[in-house]
Amino acid sequence: MNYTRGEVRDKYEKILEEAFSAAKMETRVFNKHWIDSPWSGFFEGKDPLRASPTGVHEDTITHICRRFSSAPPNASDFVIHRGLQRILNTRMEMIKERTIDWAMGEAVAFGSLLKEGIHVRLSGQDVERGTFSHRHHVLHHQKVDKSQYTVLANLYPDQAPYTVCNSSLSEYAVLGFELGFSMTNPNALVIWEAQFGDFHNTTQCIIDQFIASGQSKWIRQTGLVMLLPHGMEGMGPEHSSARLERFLQMTSDDPDILPAFSTDFAIRQLSDINWIVANCSTPGNLFHILRRQILLPFRKPLILMTPKSLLRHPEAKSSFDDMVEGTEFQRVIPDNGPVNKNPSGVKRLIFCSGKVYFDLTAARKEAGLEDTVAISRVEQIAPFPYDLVKQECDKYSEAELIWSQEEHKNMGAWSYIQPRIATALNNERLIIPSAPESQESQSWYEYWFPWLFPASSPSEAPPSEAPTQSETSVASDTRVVRYGGRPVSASPATGNKKTHLRELKNLLETSLGG
């Protein structure tokens, strides 16, 4: 049928008038009406402040590890590289000792989610092999071109799909695509890995405009994971820093307010913040934080600093016992060494995060300070674990407090950590959110959650005003945390090995009190 220009205009104006009339009849408008890709049923029937356990049965761990450490079932026909066979043999030896390294911790996290029906997707430059030759998720036939075998796609007959794909060098395009993928399906673990953490700077538009603030601006959640290899190892300014400080600067938690400590404190923090920033030091914690991404009753982006030298570090291993049922992600890993025998005799408590922990412990042992210097690892940096940091400070009540980092003073976590430790120690006001009288029996999150993601047939009006806040006093600690690390710098890292080692020596001496 052919329409005249006037008929087209009249038809279009009629559509607008009908929609406008229908809109005037609406008495309530919900946020979810503006979402173009609603997650049907995802938020219904869930306790918004309860996450499922992340530990798994040891049989599952063993099965995944064995498959991950084995040649393809048709090994007689599928010829793998001799060097890769040595890696598989090493993995088999670790299984006998019930231990895992970084690659195996990641594989068990992926494999256990695949077993539970969760699609896992990993993309980035050289992710199939792993930039540092540690992953090897895709095995290549050495005599037949383009013949390959994806190990994690063949763990169970009825598992979910596993997608692992090397991407182009356009970080901006690939991260944007993965973000979109993650926003359409909350029941998929979607991961983008930078070849080096430094390279995420070409994705800054995606990070700033969408990942950091998407929920705040558009009520759109995402569980996207960014794996950013990070660490000062003398490799120069373009291959050392994932710019941890930038992600921490964009977090939406207030450094001057000490939240109320409660049984649901950890998950409440996760629900309130715009994203999670972590720097894990053990394969076991990597396993838990990746599984937690899917088992949370909501979705938050995870910015994860990942190691390079720790991938093969003999101390950076975990036991099966760290991943079995009943275990969970450790936001802070306390010192379990000799300092526990006499906490009051500890002279210095060092907080740190990531790889520098292993440098500190080696230097502490060499200096004979294992009885007087405690080292605690802050694995989840944001949201800040106020409760556990304060617990550590209270335990070593006579100790001088140090934050040690390998990054320069104007970089890394120092500017984020310093005011929050001060708040944990010295803030005399404990801010406790409280609902209006009619909602006193509900938690803060339970009160607001139905109005952000209402059921299809709501029966009550939304709250007319925000809950009020009440205050109570807590004990104050007058200690001040001091900095131990590299001085300020315009460049993230030196490319001179001798300079790097001199800087490392100085930061260890400063942190340990040398």
Q: Taking CA 244 as the corner, what is the angle to CA 243 and CA 246, rounded to the nearest 5 degrees?
A: 75
230 near 281, Cβ under 8 Å?
Answer: no
Hunting for tokens 């053990």 — which residue is that? Answer: 282
- Position 434 confidence tier, pLDDT thresholds 50, 70, 90: very low
In angstroms, the Cα distances linking 239 to 136, 197, 228, 314, 425 are 22, 7, 11, 23, 36
Crossing angle of helices 58-68 and 102-115, in 10° steps, is 120
Which tokens hold the place of 318? 């975990």
Q: What tens digit of pLDDT does each residue of 107-127 get?
A: 999 999 999 999 999 999 999
- Per-residue pLDDT tens digits for 333-370: 999 999 999 999 999 999 999 999 999 999 999 999 99
> Which residue type is seen at 118?
I
Residue-level length of the chain: 514
> 230, 482, 199, 233: which is closest to 353 by C-alpha?
230
Q: What is the pLDDT of residues 205-217, one digit of tens each?
A: 999 999 999 999 9
Predicted local confidence at residue 28, as pLDDT:
80
Q: Give pLDDT tens digits for 286-336.
A: 999 999 999 999 999 999 999 999 999 999 999 999 999 999 999 999 999
Q: In whole angstroms, give the CA distance from residue 480 to residue 417.
A: 12
The SS3 assignment for 421 reads: helix
Q: What is the C-alpha to C-alpha distance for residues 452 and 442, in angstroms, rounded to an integer?
A: 16
- Classified as helix, coil or strand, 449 is helix
Sign of CA dihedral 406, 410, 412, 415: positive
Domains of the chain as residue ranges with CATH:
58-322 (3.40.50.12470), 332-428+474-512 (3.40.50.11610), 431-457+464-473 (no CATH)
Q: Is 124 left (phi over 0), alpha (psi -120 to 50) or beta?
A: left
Copy the structure tokens of residue 349: 């408590």
